[in-house]
Amino acid sequence: MNNGFLPVNRADMEAAGISRLDFVYICGDAYVDHPSFGHAIISRVLAAHGFTVGILAQPDWRDPASIAALGEPRLAFLVTAGNMDSMVNHYAVSKKRRARDAYTPGGVMGKRPDYATITYCNLIRRTFRNTPVIIGGIEASLRRLAHYDYWSDSLKRSILLDSGADLISYGMGERSIVEIAEALESGLDVRDITFVNGTVYKTRRREDIYDAVELPHYEALLADKREYAKSFYTQYCSTDPFTGKRLFETYGEKLFVVQNPPSKPLTRPEMDQIYALPYQRTYHPSYEASGGVPAIDEVKFSLISSRGCYGGCSFCALTFHQGRIVQTRSHESILTEAEKLVWEPDFKGYIHDVGGPTANFRAPACQKQMKTGACPDRQCLFPKPCKNLKADHSDYLALLRKLRAIPGVKKVFIRSGIRFDYLMYDEDRTFLRELCEHHVSGQLKVAPEHISDAVLEKMGKPGVRVYRAFAQAYQETNLALGRKQYLVPYLMSSHPGSTLKEAVELAEFLRDLGYMPEQVQDFYPTPSTISTCMYYTGLDPRTMQPVYTAVSPHEKAMQRALIQYRNPKNYELVCEALTKAGRTDLIGYDQKCLVRPRRGGNRSGADKTLRAAGRGKSSGRGAGNSGAVSGRGTGKREGNSAKKSRKTIRNIHKKKT
C-alpha cells in the first residue's frame, strides 16, 4: 500500500499483494483518509473486518474505461457522491454554478458529474452488468424513496431505480455495510439481501414484503401533493431505529422499493473502535502537486465527539441521515486523538472544534431513548422542552477541561454549533461561564435563524424569547469576566412561513441590534427535510395546514435584501419589499427607518419603485402577504448616517436585545 493509504491504483494493489479487490469504492470526493469523510470510515471498517478495499476517487465520468481502473471487484462496487449531495456541491440556492469545490484537489470545480451517484452507477452497468452495486452516502441516503428535487423542480423516483444499483446503505452505514459484506462473502446473491436494517432494496415480489407500511403509489404522489406530504411524514416518523417501520413504495404495476428500519445506534465502545482505526488523517499524497484538498483544513485539527441530533430543525436532514439519538465517544478515545494532533508538524496549539451536529449534545435527550427510541411524533426541544429532557453539560465540561490540560494545547474552540436553547434549559450556568472564558475568541456564532415566532414555529426552533434570554445571559457573563465578546447570529431568509411581513420584522430586529450580516443564507430546499416538503407542497406535513412559501426568485431576493438593507446595492429591492409589505413608514429620515427616499429628481429611483411595487402582488405558494402604500410620514433626518452604516460587528448587543 501507498504510505498507509488504501490502494488507489494497480501498482498499490501489486505492492500489497492483492490481485483482485473485494470492494472497489467509487467516490465523488477526492480520497481523504480522515474520519470526517464517509468513504474513509466505511473503507476502514471493511478493512478492519478482513476485506480488501480500493478507492477510485473522482473517476472521469466521460470515459467509461475509467470505472475499470481497479478491475472488477470480487464482491461489489460501493458508490457515493461524497460528503455532500452533488447538486448542493455544484450549485448555490440561486442554481448558479459554484466556482469552487472544497472536496477536489486544488478546489477545482467540475471533477464530478451532476447527480453523481446515478452517473457512476450507470457507468458501472455499461461494463459490469452483473456485479453487485451498493450505494450510500448523503446523496443516496436522502434520496432513498421518492423525493422532491429542487434543481429539476420535480418529484423524482427512488435513486435506487434511476441508478440501477442493487442496494442502498442509508444513514450511518458501519453496521449495515459489514452485514452486507458478510452476506456476499457467504455466497448469498445480492437480490436476496433483503433483511439488513439500514438498507433499501427493490423487488417484484409483493408477497416477500412483510410487516410493512405501504406508502402511496408513485403515480399518486405525482398527481397529488397532499399525498406526497402524507407519505413524507410517514417516512419522517419512521426514522427511529427502535420504533421505525418497514416502508415500501410501488412503481408501475409490479416494482416495489422497500426501506428496512434504520440500523441501531452505535454503542460507545463501537464508536471508540471506529475512530481508533488507522486513518492517515489527511488527503492522499498524490494530490500534493495540485495543492491538496481544501476540505481537510476545516477538520484536520477538529475532534468528533458525537453523532446524531434531537434538535429537530425542519430544514435539517440529520433526522433522516444520522437520526435523533445522540451517540458519543468516550473521553479516553477523544483525548487519545487529541494527543496525536499535538505532534502534527503544523499544529499551532489550537483545537478548532470538539463536537458533532450539535456540540453541546453529549448524551441522548432522555434515559429511555437508547432502550425504546425517540418519540416518533414528538420533539425533544420543540415547541417547548420535553419534561423528560435531561439538560446537563457536566460530561461535556469535563471533556473540555481535560483537553485544555493537554500539554501543547493553547486553546480549544467550539465551532460546530451550540444549541443555545438547550444551554438555557440547564439551570447550572457553569458551562456558559467556561464557554465565554475558554472557548470563544471574540465572537460566538449561534443560529436563531429568525426572530418571528411564526417562522420559527415552521423551522422547529424555539421562540425568539429564548434567544433574547440567551443573548442577555451571554452579555452578562462576558461583562462579569471582563471580556468584550459578541454574538454573531446566523439568519435565514425565505424559509417557508416567511412572508414579506416577517422579513421586515427581521430587518427591524437587525436595525435595533445595530448589525447587518455580511452573508445571508437563503433557504435551500434539499432532499428529505420537512422544510423542503413545505416548499414543494405548500403544506406543513405535520399538520397538513397550508404554509406560505416564497418561490419566485424575485421575492426571495427581496427577503434577502431586507436582511442586508444597508447595502446600497439592495436599495431598490428594499423599497419594493417595504411597499409590498405596507411598511413605507420605514422609508424616510427617522431613526427607525431602514432606508431614505431617493433625493433629487431621479424619478427612476425610490418614487418609481414605490409606484410600480404598489401595483404588484407578492408571489408564492399558500396565503400571501401584500400591502398597499401606507403613506405614513417620515420623521427627522438621522444624523451621520454614513458613519452609522459602517458600524462593524463590535456594536453587536451594545444596544438592548
Query: What pLDDT is attached to residue 605?
Result: 42
* Domain extents in the chain: 10-259, 301-431
Amino acid in the structure at residue 558: M
Query: Residue 199: which of 173, 178, 181, 161 has the closest Cα?
Result: 173
Query: What pLDDT is attached to residue 612?
Result: 45
**Distance between CA 356 and CA 493 in Å, rounded?**
25
**Distance between CA 140 and CA 604 in Å, rounded?**
50
Query: What pLDDT is attached to residue 441?
Result: 86
Is there a contact between 399 and 393 (Cβ–Cβ < 8 Å)?
no
12 three-state secondary structure: helix
Query: What are residue 199's DSSP bridge partners?
Result: 169
Query: What are residue 411's DSSP bridge partners?
Result: 350
E strand or H helix that includes residue 332: helix 331-342
Query: What pLDDT is attached to residue 516?
Result: 84
Query: What pLDDT is attached to residue 600?
Result: 54
Query: What pLDDT is attached to residue 319?
Result: 87
Query: What pLDDT is attached to residue 3?
Result: 81
Query: What pLDDT is attached to residue 410?
Result: 97
Amino acid in the structure at residue 551: V
User: Is this model's pTM higher than 0.85 or not?
Assistant: yes
Q: What is the pLDDT of residues 462-491, one digit of tens each?
A: 999 999 999 999 999 999 999 999 999 999
From the first residue on, what is the mean pLDDT of each consecutive set of 10 residues in the chain (657 residues)?
Answer: 86 96 98 97 98 98 94 98 97 96 97 98 95 98 98 98 98 96 98 97 95 97 98 96 96 96 96 97 96 96 95 92 94 97 95 95 90 89 92 97 97 92 96 96 92 96 95 97 93 96 96 86 96 98 96 95 95 96 95 87 43 43 36 36 40 42
Distances from the Cα of 620 to the Cαs of 147, 440, 501, 509, in angstroms?
Answer: 21, 40, 13, 24
**Distance between CA 476 and CA 429 in Å, rounded?**
12
Per-state percent for the chain, helix, strand, coil, to nearest 5: 35, 15, 50
Rg (CA), the chain: 26
Distances from the Cα of 259 to the Cαs of 139, 213, 219, 262, in angstroms?
Answer: 16, 10, 18, 9
**Distance between CA 55 and CA 169 in Å, rounded?**
18
Q: Is domain 10-259 annotated with CATH 3.40.50.280?
A: yes
**Distance between CA 448 and CA 467 in Å, rounded?**
7
C-alpha cell at 40: 474513509
Query: What pLDDT is attached to residue 73?
Result: 98
Q: Which CATH number fits domain 301-431: 3.30.750.210, 3.40.50.150, 3.60.10.10, 1.10.1750.10?
A: 3.30.750.210
Is there a contact between 502 and 562 (Cβ–Cβ < 8 Å)?
no
Query: What pLDDT is attached to residue 599?
Result: 72
* Exposed/middle/buried for residue 245 (C-beta within 10 Å: 0-12, 13-18, 19+): middle
* Exposed/middle/buried for residue 442 (C-beta within 10 Å: 0-12, 13-18, 19+): exposed
Q: Which distant-in-sequence residues (6+ apart) come within 8 Å of 506 by Cβ?
A: 450, 451, 452, 491, 493, 562, 563
